[in-house]
Chains A and B, each alone.
Chain A
Amino acid sequence: MTRFVMVIDTRICIGCGDCVVACKTENKVPDGLNRDWIVEATRGTYPDLKTEFRSERCNHCSNATCVTLCPTGASHHWNDSNIVLVEPEKCTGCKACIAACPYDARLVMHPDGYVDKCTFCHHRVARGLDPACVSSCPTGCMHFGSLDDPHSEVNHLLKTRDYKVLKPETGNDPNVYYLI
């Protein structure tokens, strides 16, 4: 399985939300809906504080419970990679995949009514481009690439920096990494 990962440097991220707007325009996401979002996590007591910004989206889990629990195979791993997509021609709209995602990364796309989510911009990836959010980020704190390529920047970052993934306990084996 080709493993595409996103590596986001929380030391650099400023929580500006550019990645969210870039996704909306690139992917024409309808009003009110978002495929990605920003979380600000602050710990401590004034003036002894730590704040982390995280740009979150579908984790394109290697063990994607949304795929496992989809009754029709509409949710699937694309082209033998970890990129999880929904095939509208197979979808019943049963919403099992929405409940199945521990990261609440799926949404119903109005007015089409289809289940929608981050696609890792596979339409760009297939052309050798970074996802829209990655290429817009003004701080350049987002990185995208293949984990299978030993020389990739993402591989290098994960080898040289401390990182975490969100809620590894889900067992979903998520593929968005946060450098800490």
Chain B
Amino acid sequence: MRRREFIKVSTLVGSGAVVSPALMLGGCTSSPLPGTGVVTKTPTICDMCFWKCAGDVYKEDGELWKITGNKDDLHSGGRLCTRGTGGPGAYLDPDRLQKPLMRVTVDGRQTFQEVSWNEALQFIATKMQGIADVHGPERMALLHHGAGGHHFLHLLRAFGSDSHAEPAFAQCRGPRDVGFRLTFGEAASSPERTDMANARCIVLLGSHIGENLHNGQVQTLTEAINKNAMLITVDPRFSVPAGKSQHWLPIRPGTDIALLLGWMNVLIEEDLYDKDYVDRYTIGFEQLAKHVRQYTPEWVFLETGIRPDVIRETAREMAKAAPATVVHPGRHASWYGDDTQRSRAIAMLNALLGSWNRKGGFYIPEKVDLPHYPLPDYPKPKFKTGDAYPDKWPFASQGVTNGVIEASVGDDAFFKGWMVYGTNLPQTIPGVAAKLRAAADSLDLVVVVDTMPSEVTGYADVILPECTYLERYDDIRNSGERHPSLALRMPAFEPKYESKPGWWIAKQLGERLGLQEYFPWDDYADKLDWELQQVGSSLEEMQKIGVKNFPRKRPLYFRDGQPARFYTPSRRIELYSQQLADKGFDPMPVFTPPEPVPSGYYRLNYGRMPAHTFGKTINNPLLFQLAPENQLWVNPLVANKHTLESGDYVRLASREGAVSGRIRVRVTERIGPDSVFMAHGFGHKSKRLRLAAGAGADDSELMTNIKIDPIMGGTGMRGNFVTFIKQSSTGSKS
């Protein structure tokens, strides 16, 4: 409702006298109407996923009421997504970790025992010091995900180790970022710098925005649809955006590179590419033109199942709208093991369309120049993370989780200790169970910092309960956006139970390791206040407004014909990659057909469902009751063949013999007959997750055929084949 309507409506509604709404309205229940008590508001940054939307936490009469988006925030546009709105469930979850726990042996059986913070911290500090003394501090690695991980990265760096890895690289956007960096010298960043709101044509390759609820992506895609932009979705499954697209290309799984090469073929053969842009900024066009000549739409059709006329038509649509065309880089990109090349093909297609740093294509993100709190320099580590797995994955620009895990197995393993923060490794790293057990056997120390008794806590020597994002300060959010902006996360509540904020845990450990000079603040608020003061704000101001936007200093897009230098060796957009060639990789993407589906098996496809973030929200009571289990999507033809019906439960067996938990069948046309699909994150095994335990199946444990990307170490997860094990309806043994 708009403001103007409000006035009108309220005169219609009001019965004259000014009565407080509570008295006037009556209502459905005997309880008072919401919002009639004492209401307070505290700014936060949502931590239900990694998009980092800014919002406000409302309390009514001291109780958590609701969380809503901050209107000034570009990440959220004032509206949180399903999971963000469900944030109260994270705080209220009765299964949260409450006290530090330590592994002890009682009567020959290992178990966890509650210990004091002091005991837990002292134990960890002693062990870490021992590892540093015997092997060197670099042998202590951090596996982390999420904003709070920064406190522990800081701790480890102060300690002398820069060994760290996050699943956001090798299990997620690593291939994309490396592919884009190899091409443009820059990554697609987070939030993705796609200018969808202004695009006239959007091409989604797999990215299932709508199920993938990254808020800004959803909102800008919506804006484009509202403006009748051309939407082309390439997905073997009838995804949510496929249903909104003018063109849905139900591609044969694993053949995206063929299609991308085919599109480039059409653009070049039909002279539809942006010549000026290509001349001005790129290198290697001649080689590319020659390279893609072989990939005609007719040839592509045979590989992808997409008709030649559709390939031509969609390529022309892209060209027509260019440069306001976004060929979306996607985000989770570790699919089939050739993913850096696939991402490169996407980047190159965008280059041909001239959409990089152009309006309606990709914008140039800008951050606030926020000085860091003055601290002593870190000691210089003797080893980098990559030294743990030398000669592997030359373009891995960050730590590779799977590399770190492998380098932790055995007595002579590189790593001797782990700190795990905010990542549930057993579900997150595909098919990792055996290696994780082996690593846990070998390591001298495993510390897990988590809010929940997730599966990963089962591998820990010490479990440290962090409080949730609603109960703590973290670093100021300063991510590249259309406008530079800062956002504050601050506690809306005292930490529940004996949980503590990450910054406090890191500082306590730092002090016990003699690193107090790296932790000079009493309260993290002091640090944040200092930083904010440097840019003309203050903690006090931010506590009121939550988000502060700053003016841009640089233009949002390239001006027409402006000269530009890119952060590549050639300073140009590299259509031909000498860097790759030098290391023995294809300088331009080459299509290799995916492994065919063995008979009797189906390709295991997976993705997101809007109600949840991976496995970490399944036990959230608010979101659990929205979606308590995942479903196995099965095409009706397949269902017929196996006499399956919607509502039946099955287990899945991978070709290599792994067996999943029980999962409910959904017979649907939205998936083709060669694959099955499930949302990732379910099938929790930890019994202490009382809502989530045993509900649905976990795709990770079926991933027994992992294709590692040789360029950067990404774990290709989509090459797995499964078949059904039917469950008798009563046989609910789980």
Contact = CB atoms under 8 A, between A and B. Distances in A.
A and B touch in the complex (CB under 8 A): yes
Contacts of A132: 66
Contacts of A139: 218-219, 222
A144 interface: yes
A31 B215 CA distance: 26
Contact of A119 (B28, B77, B211): B28
B670 A138 contact: no
A144 B30 CA distance: 26
Q: Give 3 closest A-B pairs by Cβ, nearest first.
A: A128-B6, A14-B210, A16-B610
Nearest to B78: A135
Contacts of B67: 25
B67 to A, nearest CB: 7
Nearest to A114: B29
B9 A114 contact: no
Interface stretch (B256-264, B471-479, B618-626): B618-626
B438 interface: no
Interface in A146-161: 146, 148-149, 151-153
Given A18-B81, A128-B9, A145-B5, A11 B244 contact: yes
Nearest to A140: B222
B80 A136 contact: yes
Given A11-B225, A21-B626, 12 more contacts: A2-B13, A16-B213, A16-B218, A21-B82, A21-B623, A42-B670, A88-B29, A116-B29, A126-B13, A126-B24, A127-B10, A135-B68
Nearest to A12: B222
Given A46-B669, A125-B9, A119 B27 contact: yes
Interface of B: 1-10, 12-15, 21, 24-31, 33-36, 65-69, 77, 79-82, 85-86, 88, 210-211, 213, 215, 218-219, 222, 225-226, 238, 240, 243-244, 248, 250, 610-611, 621-623, 625-627, 635, 668-673
B626 A47 contact: no
Given A28-B34, A136-B79, A16 B13 contact: no
Nearest to B64: A25
Given A47-B238, A153-B2, A2 B669 contact: no
A109 interface: yes
Q: How large is the interface on A (under 10, 10 to 19, 20 to 34, 35 or more residues)?
A: 35 or more
A21 B85 contact: yes
A49 B30 contact: no
A15 B80 contact: no
Most buried by B among A12, A25, A115, A140: A25
Contact of A46 (B3, B26, B238): B238
A100 to B, nearest CB: 16
B15 A79 contact: yes
A112 B29 contact: yes
B7 A128 contact: yes
B243 A16 contact: no
Contact of B30 (A4, A15, A32, A114): A114
A26 interface: yes
B238 A49 contact: yes
A47 B4 CA distance: 46
27 contacts: A2-B9, A14-B610, A16-B610, A21-B82, A21-B622, A25-B86, A25-B622, A42-B670, A46-B671, A47-B248, A49-B238, A114-B30, A115-B28, A116-B29, A122-B25, A126-B25, A128-B3, A136-B68, A137-B79, A138-B219, A139-B218, A141-B222, A146-B1, A146-B5, A148-B12, A149-B5, A152-B2
Q: Which of A11, A18, A26 has most chain B Cβ within 10 Å? A: A18
Contacts of B28: 85-86, 88, 109, 114-117, 119
Contacts of A26: 34, 65-66
Interface in A83-113: 85-89, 109, 112
A12 B80 contact: no
A51 B10 contact: no
Contacts of A17: 82, 610-611, 626-627
A149 B10 CA distance: 12
A79 to B, nearest CB: 6
A28 B31 contact: yes
A148 B465 CA distance: 55
A138 B82 CA distance: 8
B250 A46 contact: yes
A51 B670 contact: yes
B30 A138 contact: no
A146 B622 contact: no
B85 A130 contact: no
Contacts of B21: 123, 126-127
B85 A136 contact: yes
Contacts of B34: 26-28, 123
Nearest to A45: B669
Nearest to B241: A14
A43 to B, nearest CB: 8
Contact of A18 (B82, B244, B250, B668): B82
B88 A25 contact: yes
Nearest to B627: A17
Contacts of B79: 18, 135-138, 140
Given A12-B226, A136-B79, A149-B9, A123 B248 contact: no
A21 to B, nearest CB: 4
A113 B65 CA distance: 22
* Interface-central residue, A4, A42, A47, A78, by most chain B CB under 10 Å: A47
A31 to B, nearest CB: 6
A125 B10 CA distance: 8
The residue among B7, B211, B669 with the most chain A CB atoms within 10 A of its own CB is B669
Given A42-B669, A125-B9, A145-B1, A24 B622 contact: yes
A81 interface: yes
A31 B627 CA distance: 13
A49 B222 contact: no
B672 A50 contact: no
A151 to B, nearest CB: 7
A20 interface: yes
B616 to A, nearest CB: 16
A166 interface: no
Interface string A36-55: 00000010111101110100
A24 B66 CA distance: 9
B625 A31 contact: yes
Contacts of A129: 1, 6
A24 B86 CA distance: 9
B243 A51 contact: yes
A23 B484 CA distance: 33
B691 to A, nearest CB: 11
A140 B566 CA distance: 37
A31 B635 contact: no
Contacts of B6: 128-129
A50 to B, nearest CB: 7
A138 B213 contact: yes
A22 interface: yes
Contacts of B82: 16-18, 20-21, 138
A130 B1 contact: yes
Contacts of B213: 16, 138
Contacts of B5: 145-146, 149, 151-153
Contacts of A141: 222
A136 B68 CA distance: 7
Contacts of B250: 46-47
A115 B668 CA distance: 35
Contacts of B222: 12, 138-141
Contacts of B10: 126-128
A88 to B, nearest CB: 5
